């Protein structure tokens, strides 16, 4: 029996370049690349060349003279053998895949053309996708940066919520939990998206939407504790601004559900929508500075930390939108230090900075005790 080793099942570079993949989509080939069974054709081609075509090719039609029960049962058995052999070969192929060039990817997997090589081919099974977490390719850094952030925030959340209520009351735990939930879900959805998006076009699209939802959830979750403690004793602005961010964040999630939003040509629009959502925080920040003054804004409302957080988010989003540094040196950052990884690291750093900032505001605010009274403009009188 043929020995299915990696060398017999993985495409060689020559085969990859001769293989009619996505590049043919704009050429004479009429085939729809989006619905094309990428590995099937490769497997069939490979098996023909390795001498197992007889079990993989459908059996020839029997002569009408021989179409008796025996013949039908023989055909059924042969078909079963074909199915089993194809399943076996497919399983081995998924274990032994090799990275491919961007130009060899099907159209639905072609995102960043400045990452020249090191891409995963379509893997078609969740098991293979999750196993790829432990291999080196263009998504390895993206997966691990947010997996690390996700695990770190799960740890922080557990230790925060486990603190005795005499130290941290349930109201504080509830408010901080909106931020923790936003951070954990954002990084979890992102990790899952980067892990499984090479499974198939439909799976990739679904998880891409979840990824965008996660960014909106993190933004909403970041705003809620900040607004809650910054406008602790002034109910009207507190409720108005929290409502505003909930409405804008929900609008962002709805836009993210739109199929075309994930296309590469909408990259600047995506970056713009999320930068806009984040920048909506300028309105309550200006409000606070005008009412309380810049000194209290910095010392009490930890505005310096919030500005640093905003700079990290915006800086990360711009790097993502302009695809720096791989745009300048295509092919040099295929595996490490590409724009998307830098963006991920900035998001994790911004989330840590924000946690520090809102902890400072909360500690400061709670040290005053309950709201005692308010003047005619709604400001707290201590």
Residues 188-217 within binding reach of Zn ion (CB under 5 A): 190
Binding span for Zn ion by CB under 5 A among 101-109, 126-134, 169-177, 183-191: 183-191
β-strand partners of 100: 119
Nearer to Zn ion, 345 or 358 (CB): 345
Cβ-based neighbours of 58, under 8 Å, separated by 6 or more: 79, 82
Build a one-symbol-per-residue string for 140-179: x at contacts with Zn ion by CB under 5 A, - elsewhere.
----------------------------------------
Q: Residues touching Zn ion: how many (CB under 5 A)?
A: 1
DSSP 334: S
Nearer to Zn ion, 138 or 177 (CB): 138
344 annotated binding-site participant: yes
Binding span for Zn ion by CB under 5 A among 66-74, 185-193, 266-274, 309-317: 185-193
Residues 218-247 within binding reach of Zn ion (CB under 5 A): none
The answer to whether 145 touches 348, Cβ cutoff 8 Å, is yes
Binding span for Zn ion by CB under 5 A among 44-52, 187-195, 226-234, 285-293: 187-195
Torsion of the alpha carbons at 234, 239, 241 and 242, rounded to the nearest 10 = 130
Gap between the Cα atoms of 288 and 246, Å rounded: 19
Nearer to Zn ion, 33 or 139 (CB): 139
Helices (H), 231-338: 235-256, 267-279, 282-292, 294-299, 303-322
As measured in angstroms, the least distance from the Cβ of 302 to Zn ion is 28
Nearer to Zn ion, 185 or 302 (CB): 185
194 annotated binding-site participant: yes
356 annotated binding-site participant: no
Q: Is the dihedral of CA 87, 91, 94, 96 positive or negative?
A: negative
As measured in angstroms, the least distance from the Cβ of 215 to Zn ion is 9
Binding span for Zn ion by CB under 5 A among 74-82, 96-104, 182-190, 326-334: 182-190
Give, in order, the Cα–Cα distances in Å from 52 to each of 4, 48, 49, 81, 103. Answer: 11, 6, 8, 12, 29
Gap between the Cα atoms of 178 and 187, Å rounded: 14
Nearer to Zn ion, 19 or 144 (CB): 144
The answer to whether 324 touches 271, Cβ cutoff 8 Å, is no
Q: For binding to Zn ion (CB under 5 A), which residues are involved?
A: 190
Binding site for Zn(2+), residues? 194, 340, 344
Annotated binding-site residue numbers = 194, 340, 344
């Amino acid at each position: 029996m043929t020995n299915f080793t990696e060398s017999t099942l993985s495409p060689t570079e020559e085969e990859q370049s001769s293989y009619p993949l996505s590049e043919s989509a704009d050429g004479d080939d009429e085939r729809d690349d989006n619905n094309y069974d990428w590995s099937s054709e490769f497997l069939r081609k490979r098996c023909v060349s390795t001498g197992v075509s007889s079990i993989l090719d459908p059996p020839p039609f029997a002569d009408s003279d021989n179409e008796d029960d025996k013949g039908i049962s023989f055909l059924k058995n042969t078909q079963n053998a074909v199915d089993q052999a194809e399943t076996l070969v497919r399983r081995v192929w998924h274990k032994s895949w090799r990275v491919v060039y961007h130009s060899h990817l099907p159209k639905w997997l072609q995102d960043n053309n400045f990452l020249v090589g090191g891409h995963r081919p379509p893997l078609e099974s969740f098991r293979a996708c999750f196993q790829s977490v432990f291999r080196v390719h263009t998504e390895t850094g993206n997966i691990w940066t947010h997996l690390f952030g996700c695990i770190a925030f799960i740890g922080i959340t557990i230790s925060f919520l486990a603190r005795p209520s005499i130290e941290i009351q349930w109201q504080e735990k509830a408010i901080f939990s909106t931020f923790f939930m936003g951070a954990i879900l954002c990084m979890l959805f992102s990790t899952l998206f980067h892990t499984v998006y090479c499974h198939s076009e439909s799976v990739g699209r679904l998880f891409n939407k979840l990824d965008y939802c996660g960014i909106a959830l993190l933004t909403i979750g970041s705003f809620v504790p900040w607004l809650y403690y910054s406008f602790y004793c002034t109910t009207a602005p507190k409720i108005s601004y929290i409502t505003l961010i909930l409405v804008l964040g929900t609008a962002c999630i709805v836009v993210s559900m739109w199929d075309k939003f994930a296309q590469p040509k909408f990259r600047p629009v995506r970056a713009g929508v999320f930068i806009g959502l984040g920048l909506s925080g300028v309105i309550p920040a200006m409000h606070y500075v005008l009412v309380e003054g810049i000194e209290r804004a910095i010392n009490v409302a930890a505005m310096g930390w919030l500005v640093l957080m905003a700079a990290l988010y915006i800086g990360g989003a711009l790097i993502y939108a302009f695809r720096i540094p791989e745009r300048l040196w295509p092919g040099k950052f295929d595996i490490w230090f590409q724009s998307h990884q830098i963006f991920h690291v900035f998001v994790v750093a911004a989330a840590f900075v924000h946690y520090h900032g809102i902890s400072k505001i909360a500690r400061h605010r709670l040290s005053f005790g309950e709201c005692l009274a308010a003047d005619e403009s709604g400001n707290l009188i201590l």
